[in-house]
């Protein structure tokens, strides 16, 4: 009897899409205004979904307060009000597309959550653009 | 050619998280302010999703008006403006976590919907906490 | 050059509409299912709006972090995960309609905010029902 | 390492639910007010989801700007501010239910998107009624 | 001690912007695709706001259930799943812009609501276009 | 018979709160993480509201397509995917608080809109923080 439980959090960050293997001209051709060298930013909405069996004593798959605290400690504290390219280790060499940010967040949280639970990340970069990882 | 169709409804209810096998101290330790003995409450948003083949004559998988009426008759009328712990049979002994409420609603609706259709419940307890059953 | 600045917070509470001067029959006639003796509940969305001149040194009418902390300390801590009728002094004799809750919150915050600023409360009881005080 | 990426667009259209094999009485019995002969309309919200591997050079599964342009050129330009029954070839004989509109949009976009990517359509007819195709 | 209370309802309708004093060319020049002769449509979101003193016995400015029923009886029943130009008396000669629809709804409701209360209409034609009447 | 008409647009930008008359220590004390020297960012939601009499021939207070184009040409093109502090003239010396951004946008649009119409700006920096100018 598996159930999915989800918690939504948010962080506000600056970023720039940029492949250091390319020159500026190529970066602008591929990433357009998202490659503005002075950065731009977003209100990221993050949904973390865990799948598993509810605990028969609590009726919880996972305590949402504990999940919220875990996301805040390990994700929000690192990314909120930061420049993703300059202020985090993760995106010094990795391009901070929504896809890559979602995978990074998944890796951070996957190792903090018991292996009996599946972990999935949904990340809204804007109200109209969002990604999900893993896809299945 | 299977399609999913979904209908969103809502109900407003009071509840308290509580395991009668535990003393008050243990309940507060596990459920925190959600275990307030005088109850608190939520605007629950409920999405019912049916999966099946569309009827070639109507183009409908299911008539959304009929689904809305079914949800209102069998779920909303029992839960809306009620105290889930005190006013419903379901949660007199079962802890009304979002997980357990979703499973109860699934059981109520599963037997009212033709077996050719899959039934899935998504329940938002708040804008930031929600559950889905079944998970697959 | 007056500007309005607003901060949105939320709390989840149980309540019951009830006039103690009336018998149960009259209460049910007037308040319907909102008068359920075992309570029901809502996710209240609260917007606090301050109107004033921006400080020329900060560019702020009011620091939103300070406003958020003020709302949490004086409103959310008293109302969140509570039964408004039983767990607060305010609604032991006052009927907790959205109108009355908004006026109570306005009175709490009005005395914590400098008189050079106007204070206005918007309170959503549900996505479809909301009130504003004062009206002008 | 498959990831889902989604883009949300919208269009405003008139339609009427109608099976030409039936007389008016039967159409009204089945479709109710949705069969009003003078049409009614909706603000349709359309989400197009692609599933695939991110390109290691860009970090994109698909460029959202390119996807947005593709949806606008092939879907929005045909449906926006149109009468689906009268102004499009698709629904001259096919009943424009949300289910059928989603399948038509999927067919239009499926042939414009590389076969290495899965395509899924989510279509909101109203905030409370929506469909997804394919279901799996 | 005046308070504003608001109730949100919705209706789905087809319409066409059209000035019968102009030829088709002029109508298209002014109204563009909104003048499509076969109509298009919207999910209209309607907010009705009443301003007045709360009743000391109920704590209500107005019973939201009564306001909802009034809106449904006098507005939604006339406009929902209708073609505003063809199916209503109001817009046979009056152009159904959001501005004009709001004024018509205000006139309908103004005479059903006690004169001690102010009435204001907010009408969303889309999530991004909306009007308010009266302005003050 | 004055009516308000509103158009919602958005832009994504990086910024940093900073008073150049203060040292870093003072800036951090006042603006906290909003003063991060490498910037952070937001999805700004901008609502432009015009108040005036509807044109009797069109039924429009203002053509929303024209207003949308005006906002895009004079505001979005300057601010979207930009660093407000570095990439715009406006905020090279003015602190880009939501209050100041709203006043700047008001000044830009006020001179593009006929004086018979009032202009008001509502700017959401996040879903929970927003400002309105002018206040009256």
For the segment A65-112, what is each residue's pLDDT rounded down to a tens digit?
999 999 999 999 999 999 999 999 999 999 999 999 999 999 999 999
Which stretches does DSSP call E strand in F76-117?
82-83
pLDDT, tens digit, for every residue of C20-40?
A: 999 999 999 999 999 999 999
Fold classification of C3-133 (topology level): Tetrahydropterin Synthase; Chain A (3.30.479)
C126 touches chain B (CB under 8 A): yes
C111 in active site:
no
Give chain E's radius of gyration (CA, Å): 17
Asked if F21 is an interface residue toward chain C (Cβ–Cβ < 8 A), one would say yes
Distance, in Å, from the CA atom of B19 to the CA atom of F20, rounded to the nearest integer, reads: 57
> Is the model's pLDDT at B126 over the cut of 90?
yes
* pLDDT score, position C136: 85
**Cα angle: C105, vertex C64, F130; to 5 degrees:** 90
Chain segment B22-32, per-residue pLDDT in tens = 999 999 999 99
Q: What is the pLDDT of residue F136?
A: 85
- pTM for the model stands at 0.97
CA–CA distance, F82 with F88 (Å, rounded to integer): 8
pLDDT of residue C6: 98
Q: According to the model, what pLDDT value does residue D136 have?
A: 85
Averaged pLDDT, F96-115? 98
Contact B7, B48 (CB under 8 A): yes
CB contact under 8 A, D6 and A129: yes
Q: Is the peptide bond before F128 cis (omega within 30 degrees of 0)?
A: no
In chain C, helix, strand, coil percent, each to 5?
A: 35, 30, 35
Separation CA F71–CA F50 (nearest Å)? 12
Q: What is the pLDDT of residues A16-42, one digit of tens each?
A: 999 999 999 999 999 999 999 999 999
Torsion of CA B96, B123, A47, F99, to 10 degrees: -100
Cβ–Cβ below 8 Å for E2 and C135: yes
Q: How far is A19 from chain D (nearest CA, A)?
A: 7
CB atoms within 10 A of CB E4: 22
**Whose CA is closest to D54, among A125, A95, A122, A21?**
A95
Bridge partners, residue A49, by sequence: A6, A120
pLDDT (0 to 100) of residue B116: 98
By the 8 A CB rule, do E79 and E39 touch? Answer: no
Collapsing DSSP states into helix, strand and coil, what is residue D18? coil
Token code pair at residue F4: 């308000």
User: Are E57 and E38 in contact, with CB atoms under 8 Å apart?
Assistant: no
Pairwise CA distance, residues F71 & A58, whole Å? 52
Neighbours of C31 (CB within 10 A): 22
Residue B51: enclosing H or E segment and its boundaries?
strand B40-52
Q: Cα–Cα distance between A117 and A5 in angstroms, integer?
A: 10
Mean of the pLDDT values across residues C46-74? 98
pLDDT at res. E128: 98
By percentage, how much of chain B surpasses pLDDT 90? 99
Q: Which ranges of chain E have pLDDT less than 50?
A: none
CB–CB of E131 and F57 under 8 A? no
**Whether D53 is catalytic:** no
Residues 65-104 in F contacting A (C-alpha not used; CB under 8 Å): 80-83, 86-87
DSSP class per residue in chain E: --EEEEEEEEEEEEE----TTS-HHHHHHHHGGGG-TT-EEEEEEEEEEEEEPPPTTT--SS-HHHHHHHHIIIIIHHHTTEEHHHH-STTTTS---HHHHHHHHHHHHHTTS-TTSEEEEEEEEETTEEEEES--
Q: Does F10 contact chain E (CB < 8 Å)?
A: no
Q: What percentage of chain F exceeds 90 in pLDDT?
A: 99
Rounded distance, CA B30 to CA D87, Å?
60
User: Is the confidence at residue B61, as pLDDT, over 90?
Assistant: yes
Interstrand relation of D82-83 and C82-83 (parallel, antiparallel or unpaired): unpaired
CA distance D54 to chain A (A): 7
Asked if B36 contacts C87 with a C-beta cutoff of 8 angstroms, the reply is yes
pLDDT classification of C46: cutoffs 50, 70, 90: very high
- Flag residues of chain D having pLDDT under 50: none
Asked if F32's CB is within 8 angstroms of C1's CB, the reply is: no
The confidence score (pLDDT) of residue A79 equals: 98
Q: How confident is the model at residue B136 (pLDDT cuts 50, 70, 90)?
A: confident
């Amino acid at each position: 009897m598996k159930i999915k439980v989800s918690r939504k959090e948010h962080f506000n960050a600056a970023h720039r899409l940029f492949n250091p293997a390319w020159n500026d001209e190529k970066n602008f051709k591929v990433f357009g205004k998202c490659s503005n060298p002075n950065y731009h930013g977003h209100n990221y909405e993050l949904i973390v979904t865990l799948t598993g069996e509810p605990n028969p004593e609590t009726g919880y798959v996972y305590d949402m307060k504990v999940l919220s605290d875990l996301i805040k400690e390990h994700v929000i504290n690192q990314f909120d009000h930061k420049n993703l390219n300059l202020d985090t280790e993760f995106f010094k060499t990795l391009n901070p597309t929504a896809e890559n940010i979602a995978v990074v967040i998944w890796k951070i949280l996957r190792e903090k959550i018991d292996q009996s639970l599946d972990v999935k990340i949904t990340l809204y970069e804007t109200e109209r653009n969002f990604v999900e990882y893993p896809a299945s």
